[in-house]
Chains A and B, each alone.
Chain A
Amino acid sequence: MSAITGEQAILIEKPGLAGRISDFFWKHPHVFLAVMLAPPLLWLGIIYLGSLLALLLQSFFSIDDYSGLVNYEFTLSTYGQLLNEANLDIIIRTVSMAAIVTLFSALIAFPIAYYAARYARGKWKAIFYLGVMLPLWSSYLVKIYAWKLILAKEGILTWFLAKLNLLWLLDAWLSIPVIGGNSLSVSYTGTFIVFVYVWMPFMILPIQASLERVPANLIEASSDLGSTPQQTFRHVLFPLALPGIVAGSIFTFSLTLGDYIIPQIIGSSRLFIGQAVYAQQGTAGNIPLAAAFTVVPIVIMGLYLWMARKMGAFDAL
């Protein structure tokens, strides 16, 4: 009987340097973990968090009105400037746009997600999936460009409405103050359509994921018990899909909040938060105010994520 104990069997050493290193890591899993985690954590920690914190720090500085140089003394006055009428306007405009875009994205996304989750089978399921993924991943700028083609005065939309003799409707819409304008491509309506188009696909997959978890017999039970489809939707389907809708709205809301390219290319000259940040750091050179402006979406998203977490939206992601 050879007397190899368990202890010895484990301790048979592998030859060579690579073998010894492997053995060392095998016996010290925590060291191995640290070695694996160090590169990504150093990268994200230094490059990303480091610059983020440096930026936030600058929001507590102010800019000297006369010299235009940054005054490195702690102050809250830069945050005070956010409450200017003009800046407050920008914040309110952006947040309301993000809210309306999110609402309409949910309205358009829900039927697609519901059909894909409940009725699409086999080949159609794949078609629906790719039908959502391809627009979601296609180039952001190309999508905006496509809408520039559509909304242009000489573009396809005007042509289409002219064929239907509905141009008066477009003119009536454009003559409404605030949401109207000279043409759709320089109006809030245009900005809104493009926002919905670009960010709506992010809403579909989370809703679909939450709807796929609703058992079909629950819907049938509801209708067996005598409720109309509307009642079933209100009392059964919608509450169960809500975490998915909230999860999707995180994307649509956050992405609309920070975007500065869409309103720059399609929209009126009134600024959104992203454009204000861009203008403050670029032409105005007022980094402290730009930094304070970026805190607005961070705080709003923080609150939003906190609420979403309470509603269980993260399980639907």
Chain B
Amino acid sequence: MRSDRSTSAPPGLKIAAAGGLLFLHLPIMLIFLYAFTTEEKSYQFPPPGLTLQWFAVTWNRPDVWEALSLSVRVASIATAIALVLGTLCAAAVSQTRFFGRETISLLVILPIALPGIITGIALRSAFSMADIPFSIWTIVLGHATFCVVVVYNNAVARFRRVSGSLVEASMDLGANGLQTFRHVILPNISTALLAGGMLAFALSFDEVIVTTFTGGQQSTLPIWMLQELIRPRQRPVTNVVAMVVVLVTFLPILAAYYLTRDGDQIAGSGK
């Protein structure tokens, strides 16, 4: 039997696959429509009218800007820490074989494998036991911990493809460790680090569960949204912020995909 028989899918499968993808995408598209609605008090569909005024209202809201700026600061610092820790860990695990490698992989993955609420409450009770006041740094501490795994995953996949003999050759030719890192290792792993860094940024930017436990009075953008979800104050502003958040998170995901698509690894195959 010829094998090209299998190139077209049975119609039932096509419908199920398309339906599944629509199920994933339609709700997000709805967010875009609601950002323009004129209705203020309810989630009425279809919207009675369309307007651009809520973009201006949102633009002039200081609380939105404060939350956004805190989120960006937290995500940047957490990403920087995660890049350093994740790369070190990946380099150690992939370049050498030693006892306990599996344990280290498990340790890195654990903060994301266990439900976020466990990480959150554990950190919170540790902070209160050690009398550490809540601040931007307690938020960063929590975020960096679970961002390490994203950088680690991307870096480990790339290190596997970088041959160890390259490093040996560089050292034999007289380069010292720093020079080898700058001129040999970094160019080889830079796109993987960039992809990992962007995913870590997206992960931190969106994180809400751990943040509710490790943040004090400050609110990051997700915390701001959560408060709006529980007690809505001005629904149209929430609509606009939701749309902007969708757009802002799409960019790093697309960029990470293009940076790693030629590789053998999947940039964000697990959150």
Report A's interface with B, CB cutoff 8 A: 14, 16, 18-19, 21-22, 25-26, 29-30, 33, 36-37, 39-41, 43-45, 47-52, 54-55, 58, 108-109, 111-112, 114-116, 118-119, 126, 128-150, 152, 154-156, 158-159, 197, 200-202, 205, 216-217, 219-220, 224, 229, 250-251, 254-255, 257-261, 264-265, 274, 277-278, 281, 287, 290-291, 294, 297-298, 301, 317
Contacts and interface: CB of A to CB of B under 8 A. Distances in A.
B114 interface: yes
Interface of B: 1, 3, 5-10, 13-14, 16-17, 20-21, 23-25, 27-28, 30-31, 34, 42-46, 81, 84-86, 88-89, 91-92, 96, 98, 104, 107-108, 110-111, 113-119, 121-126, 129, 141, 144-145, 148, 171, 174, 176-180, 199, 202, 206, 208-209, 222, 225-226, 229-230, 238, 242, 245-246, 249-250, 253-254, 257, 261, 266, 268-271
A298 B9 CA distance: 41
Contacts of A149: 27, 30-31, 34, 43, 45
Given A36-B91, A297-B115, A155 B27 contact: no
Contacts of A114: 13, 17
A40 B148 contact: yes
A155 B45 CA distance: 5
Given A33-B92, A39-B84, A142-B31, A251 B270 contact: yes
A49 B246 contact: no
B117 A142 contact: no
A51 B126 contact: yes
B174 A14 contact: yes
Contact of B117 (A14, A146, A274): A274
Contact of B121 (A129, A132, A281): A281
Contacts of B179: 18
Contacts of A317: 270
Most buried by A among B21, B42, B85, B148: B21
Given A119-B7, A146-B242, 17 more contacts: A30-B98, A33-B98, A48-B110, A111-B20, A131-B21, A137-B202, A139-B242, A141-B225, A143-B27, A154-B44, A202-B270, A219-B6, A254-B115, A258-B114, A265-B230, A277-B117, A317-B270
A19 B261 CA distance: 37
B117 A258 contact: yes
Given A39-B85, A139-B222, A159-B45, A255 B115 contact: yes
Contact of A111 (B13, B25, B92): B13
Contacts of B28: 134-135, 138, 142-143, 146
Given A115-B13, A220-B1, A37 B126 contact: no
A147 B13 contact: no
A240 to B, nearest CB: 16
A178 to B, nearest CB: 24
Given A54-B126, A220-B3, A298 B114 contact: yes
A41 B104 contact: yes
Contacts of A136: 268, 271
Given A142-B245, A277-B121, A294-B117, A150 B30 contact: yes
B208 A146 contact: no
B3 to A, nearest CB: 6
B104 A37 contact: yes
A264 B231 CA distance: 12
